[in-house]
Chains A and B, each alone.
Chain A
Amino acid sequence: MISHTERSANYAILLLFAAIALWPILTILGTALGPDDAGGTGGLANFPAAWEEGRFGSSMLTSIAVSGFVVAVAGVLSILAGYAFGTMRVPGAAVLFPLFLLGLMVPTEVIVVPLYFDLRTFGLTNTFWGIALPQVAQSVAFGTFWMRAYFRSRPQSLIEAGRLDGAGSWRILWQILVPPGRPAIVTMVVLTFMWTWNEFLIPLVMATDESLRTAPLGLAFFQGQHTSGLTLLAAGAVIVAAPVVVVYLFLQRHFIRGMLEGAVRE
């Protein structure tokens, strides 16, 4: 059906757009692996140098702690709430569930201002909790929506059979419904991880202490220092992007599926 020239043209377009998508990424990788800022050999040695100079040891650790906490807590809370909304008659569900959906739309910009001043009153700004809890709340909005869709897709007979076997709702959830739901849960986990790792505004506002800076924040401050040259900055950028990119390369189906289906709603 399709002519030879048309096919070649399509391959050319494919390659052109792949090249455009990769261009900034390869540029930053190339700079990071190039000669160091003093004109020395550089190469892989740029990474430990940037790690040292940009104090990424501390900021990466903070990012791991914050992301780990948000992913775990938001994940469990979302499974519980999604289970109830998906399989039980929750009183007031007609109001409560849309309220959770609202959270998918609320921009961080609008909540971060009152959050800062209210948490300051409780002495919670510049703490781990000030950075992590608002992100748990935002993730729970998506997670509840996502897990409800999964639990609703389970056949009712599965739950009935569990009840007949004498299992309570808690055991039905963890022993019957959660194990086959691994793909849905993995998708939620990788998306929450990506959003939390890449989040910038909340840690920027909440963390005034250098020891509480997350990795993206550390990179922004590294860029602001006039001492850091292009090579070290590029190496720092690669370090900050790497965890999410590596997970993406292994689990890309989950990322793409989640971001597309999650957006389509129902």
Chain B
Amino acid sequence: MADTLLAGPTTTAPARRGHLGPSPWHALAYVAPALVVYAAFVLYPLGRAVHLSLFDWDGLTLATFVGLDNYLDVVTDGDLRAAFGHALVLIVFFALLPTAIGLVLATLLTRARVRGLPFFRTVVFLPQVIAMVVVGVAWRQLYAPDGSVNDLLGIVGLGGVARAWLGDPTFALPAVGVIGTWVQTGLVTVLLMAGISRIPDQLYEAARLDGAGPVREFFAITLPSVRAELAVALTLTVIAALKTFDLIYITTGGGPGNRTSVPSYEVYNRAFRLGEVGSAAAVGVTLTVIIFAINLAVARIGERR
């Protein structure tokens, strides 16, 4: 052992590969199984989706090439425009509201040194691990005409506004949105709590010596220090808003009318119910491009720090 150790340095230089580890092809063999499955079931379908999106196809008979017509539809077709509009509304509920609430909550709780934070974290994160289908079933019950949302409104004297929330043309979309706020707030709060707890205490002490109040402290220290966490929180929640398929499927099925249809629901509906496979693929590709763009933009913002 001692001999080999001593001999080490002299042998490294010439036989670099032999000493520093496996050959490139050897390394590739370790990657190959994952790559094959990944390429066959993610990369290839992704390319095929782009291909399909250029055709008018019902899934059974011969497809006709239509160029970018399906993409034109995304901009001109009333139903699709409505779906993308609904997605924007959901972004407010899934991303902006949870981020605002999470910032306030995390700031208050982390600096206050209250007890019971681990329990709180476990509880508010819980909605993240429950299947969306189950979340949908639970909230349908809360939103039912005789459900506890209406009961609660009755108790605070607002019995007049009680309704079948998910069946109401005006309120169905915000009602679905509130479910998203409920699911995402915990994730954002826990993420920001972790970020805030990493801010050194001295920063706050210095601010207090300068006579800064809690509000100035928040804008001068807390907010800039958690920029990275905020960027991550917004990416995750905006993407979750854009991928709301199961929740819509379970709670409203896109209805009433098409008041709660979203792009991801349109993909399913068009491909597997209406037989408009090309259009479905175009909506899917558009959705993917939007998600890539959001990720890139956020990565850029993160780099600029």
Residues of A within 8 A of B (CB): 2, 6-7, 10-11, 13-14, 17-18, 20-25, 27-28, 31, 77-78, 80-81, 83-85, 87-91, 96, 99-100, 102-103, 105-118, 133-134, 136-138, 140-141, 143-144, 159, 163-164, 169, 194, 197-198, 200-201, 204-205, 215-217, 219-220, 223, 230, 233-234, 236-237, 240-241, 244-245, 248-249, 252, 255-256, 259-260, 263-264
Contacts and interface: CB of A to CB of B under 8 A. Distances in A.
B112 A103 contact: no
Given A83-B30, A260-B191, 15 more contacts: A18-B119, A28-B138, A110-B267, A110-B288, A112-B45, A113-B277, A113-B284, A116-B271, A117-B59, A137-B40, A140-B37, A200-B131, A204-B268, A216-B134, A216-B246
A144 B38 CA distance: 11
B31 A255 contact: no
Contacts of A102: 43
Contact of A223 (B114, B124, B191, B250): B250
Interface string B136-151: 0111111000001000
Contacts, number: 286
A75 to B, nearest CB: 11
A27 B27 contact: no
B285 A110 contact: yes
Given A78-B34, A90-B28, A234-B141, A111 B46 contact: yes
A20 B182 contact: yes
A223 B135 CA distance: 13
Contact of A80 (B33, B114, B235): B33
Contacts of B19: 163
B164 interface: no
B116 A107 contact: no
B132 A200 contact: yes
A136 B249 contact: no
B108 A110 contact: no
A249 B229 CA distance: 25
Contact of A100 (B38, B105, B109, B280): B38
B129 A244 contact: yes
Interface of B: 1, 4-5, 8, 19, 21-22, 24-28, 30-31, 33-35, 37-38, 40-43, 45-46, 48-49, 51-52, 59, 105, 108-109, 112-114, 116, 119-135, 137-142, 148, 182, 185-187, 189-191, 194, 228, 232, 235-236, 239, 242-243, 245-246, 249-250, 263-264, 267-268, 271-272, 277, 280-281, 284-285, 287-288, 291-292, 295
Residue among B4, B134, B232, B288 with max Cβ neighbours from chain A (10 Å): B134
A201 B124 CA distance: 26
25 contacts: A17-B105, A18-B120, A21-B182, A24-B135, A27-B141, A77-B37, A78-B34, A88-B24, A89-B21, A90-B27, A100-B38, A109-B267, A112-B268, A113-B52, A113-B284, A137-B37, A163-B21, A164-B1, A216-B133, A216-B134, A217-B133, A234-B141, A245-B129, A245-B130, A263-B236
A220 B250 contact: yes
Given A18-B123, A77-B33, A245-B130, A10 B108 contact: yes
Given A21-B124, A24-B142, A107-B287, A113 B21 contact: no
A13 B124 CA distance: 12
Contacts of B141: 27-28, 31, 230, 234
Nearest to A29: B138
B38 A137 contact: yes
Nearest to B247: A200
Contacts of B250: 220, 223
B276 to A, nearest CB: 11
A112 B26 CA distance: 33
A113 B47 CA distance: 12
B138 A106 contact: no
B126 A25 contact: yes
A13 B292 CA distance: 37
Given A24-B139, A27-B138, A259-B128, A84 B284 contact: no
Given A110-B46, A255-B129, A84 B142 contact: no
A116 B277 CA distance: 11
Given A77-B33, A115-B45, A216-B131, A255 B125 contact: yes
A87 B34 contact: no
Contacts of B272: 116, 205
Given A200-B132, A263-B236, A107 B246 contact: no
A77 B48 contact: no
